[in-house]
Chains A and B, each alone.
Chain A
Amino acid sequence: MLYRPINQNYHDFIVQRDRELCINCRVCERQCSYLVHYWDENRKQVMHDNAKCVGCHRCEALCPTGAIVIRHNPSQFRENSHWKPWFIKNVYKQADGGGVLLGAMGNPQPYPIYWDRLLLDASQVTNPSIDPLREPMELRTYLGSKPDSLEFEEKEGKPSLKTKLSPQIKLNYPIMFSAMSYGSINFNLHIAMARAATELGIVYNTGEGGLHPDLYQYGPNTIVQVASGRFGVHRDYLNAAEGSDALSPAPHHDIYSIEDLRQLIYALKEATEYRVPVSVKIAAVHNAAAIASGIVRAGADIVAVDGFRGGTGAAPTMIRDNVGIPAELALAAIDQRLRDEGIRNRASVVIAGGIRCSADVVKAIALGADAVYIGSAALVAVGCTMCQRCYTGKCPWGIATNVPSLARRQNPEIAKQKLVNLVRGWAHEIEEMLGGMGLNSIESLRGNREKLRAVGLNEVELDIFGVKPAGR
């Protein structure tokens, strides 16, 4: 194309506009925040510049005549299974700009997805299945440290609990909304998450961007995050919530050892007068199990593990695509390690990063998770199409943006309802799956790896998962 730098001609998407249908109403032009569509005064029609398209599908979704299809650019380099177009185009980009490649959302590369290699059991003949529509089914989950043993005493002739219980987060479903900061997503979605969490009886995590004063009212359904930047962290913030969450992958310049972490955990506990559990979040990395053990010994009530599929608003592409380990393996290793050390009861384990459906939730719980965080799934529920361009701040769906004209595309009322619907839908499915396995409470599934079988995994993977291969 005339004037266009050569490398920008190898764009990823093309806009296919059916001129039979297009009425030149310019709705697409108004919706695209990347300025792909434009009005051509000479031709008196809407035209487009394919090179700018990020493939978010917003225009396609709002075109009133269905005239647009967003396609992968069919133009192909000569086949080469080593030099895939992804690498070639990235080299071009860096040769032009010299910068660090940026990406967003989770690791999109074709690493194994272990959820898809694990299968659930169903009752046959010897044990009856349970119909959740006819019989009670318990999904309630409490997150926090559980005592090593319980002591009872007699009070006025009645037995009563003597052991003092640690603070717990009560969840109606074993699902929470992930830490997504006010900044990476906008206020409309924060309010939607807060309201949805309240309606569902679950919690959402504020992320590291602080908490808007208007959201303090949702405190009982909030986990506040104390991240490396310490943005917006003060006593009111900590006390506004039901739980607090103490880590993020970036360096905390006041934590260089487990002792420092212990100090921070106890500082948070003091600041919140031991009313709320403290959760420590780590990325799923090579020694996740040993790190988790240290964190639990340092006093954390909850360990949250974030796998490499976990979404982010902006990350260097090389880090996103090459650092960390699959959350499924980290989870299994952490649960096993804490059990082996006899400290599994001291903390709840929460898994985050790439949970896509209710079956993933069930498998995570069978692998030992107490609950899961959903982030990307929650964003998809409100329209995200995983275009992975969050870092531009121009999300055409009004999600990963604070541009006022875009943020208003998320009506908090609609977004809240979608989040509520999603979690309710998953909860029904979880009940069905539990019932199918002959279980009537999520508690009976927790760490119950006997309910899982693996397909296509090698001996080592089976060993880490503590799961038998299908057929055994």
Chain B
Amino acid sequence: MKRVYVNPEVCIGCKLCELACLTEHSQSKDLIIAYREERMQGLLPRNTVEESGWITASLNCRHCAEPYCIQACISGALTKDAESGRVVYEEEQCVGCWSCLMACPFGAIKRHPIKEKIVKCDLCPERSIPACVSACPNQALTFEEK
């Protein structure tokens, strides 16, 4: 399946990918409103730019072949979509037990800052190329089959 891959050699730590992700998952789809207002109501980017000195890398859900998060999930909120291979999350079903969050070896699952729910990357189902990949100014992110 196609996943988002980062090339840390050319990731410049600008975090535009986080802003794109934030906007894509906002109500308004408007960066300024999403950042100023919706963020205060708990909107989070699904990805995280990890930094260690000047080395940076944007990380998101790996949509693993055998996802630990799904094994750990007690409520059936996480499932593997057979067709697309994506690890799909149903917010309604999440009970906020954080089992998946602890099970994910990549730290790709975040807690919603207000609701007792998790937040994770959905690979932007409404877009042909995920928002973070389109926004990256240095082609540090690619959406490809590897």
Contacts and interface: CB of A to CB of B under 8 A. Distances in A.
B26 to A, nearest CB: 12
Interface in B3-61: 9-16, 19, 31-32, 35-36, 54
B19 A64 contact: yes
Contacts of A411: 10, 138-140
A27 B16 contact: yes
B36 A62 contact: no
A329 to B, nearest CB: 41
Nearest to B13: A30
A65 B12 contact: no
A208 B89 CA distance: 57
A25 B10 contact: no
B107 interface: no
Nearest to B19: A64
A398 B12 CA distance: 10
Contacts of A409: 10, 12, 138
B113 interface: no
A5 interface: no
A124 interface: no
A458 to B, nearest CB: 48
A25 B139 contact: no
Interface string A18-44: 000101010100110000000000000
Nearest to A413: B139
Nearest to A414: B139
A62 B15 contact: no
B32 A21 contact: yes
A420 to B, nearest CB: 15
Contacts of A25: 15, 19, 35
B14 A23 contact: no
A349 to B, nearest CB: 39
B10 A23 contact: no
A64 B31 contact: yes
A149 interface: no
A405 interface: yes
B137 A62 contact: yes
A401 to B, nearest CB: 12
Interface in A398-440: 398, 404-405, 408-409, 411, 413-414
A62 B16 contact: yes
Interface string B65-82: 000000000000000000
Contact of A405 (B9, B36, B54, B137): B54
Contacts of A23: 31-32, 35-36
Interface string A369-411: 0000000000000000000000000000010000011001101
A62 B19 CA distance: 12
Contacts of B135: 64
A28 to B, nearest CB: 10
A189 B11 CA distance: 16
A190 B137 CA distance: 20
Nearest to A23: B35
A404 B9 CA distance: 10
Contacts of B16: 27, 62, 64
A62 B136 CA distance: 10
Contacts of A65: 31-32
Contacts of A30: 13-15
A408 B12 contact: yes
Contact of B14 (A21, A27, A413, A414): A27
B19 A408 contact: no
A64 B131 CA distance: 13
Nearest to A26: B15
A18 to B, nearest CB: 11
Contacts of B138: 408-409, 411, 414
B14 A404 contact: no
Contacts of B11: 408
Nearest to A64: B19
A109 B36 CA distance: 46
Interface in A231-260: none
Contacts of A404: 54
A23 B36 CA distance: 7
Contacts of B36: 23
A399 to B, nearest CB: 13
A59 B11 CA distance: 17
A318 B56 CA distance: 41
A11 B46 CA distance: 41
A408 B56 CA distance: 11
Contacts of B9: 408
Interface of B: 9-16, 19, 31-32, 35-36, 54, 135, 137-140
Given A64-B19, A411-B10, 15 more contacts: A21-B32, A23-B35, A25-B19, A27-B14, A27-B16, A27-B19, A65-B31, A404-B54, A408-B9, A408-B12, A409-B10, A409-B138, A411-B139, A414-B138, A414-B139
26 contacts: A21-B32, A23-B31, A23-B32, A23-B35, A25-B35, A27-B14, A27-B15, A27-B16, A30-B13, A30-B14, A30-B15, A31-B14, A62-B14, A62-B137, A64-B16, A64-B31, A64-B135, A398-B12, A405-B12, A405-B54, A408-B10, A408-B12, A408-B138, A409-B10, A409-B138, A414-B138
Q: Which 5 A-B pairs have the closest CB atoms?
A: A405-B54, A23-B35, A411-B10, A411-B138, A409-B12
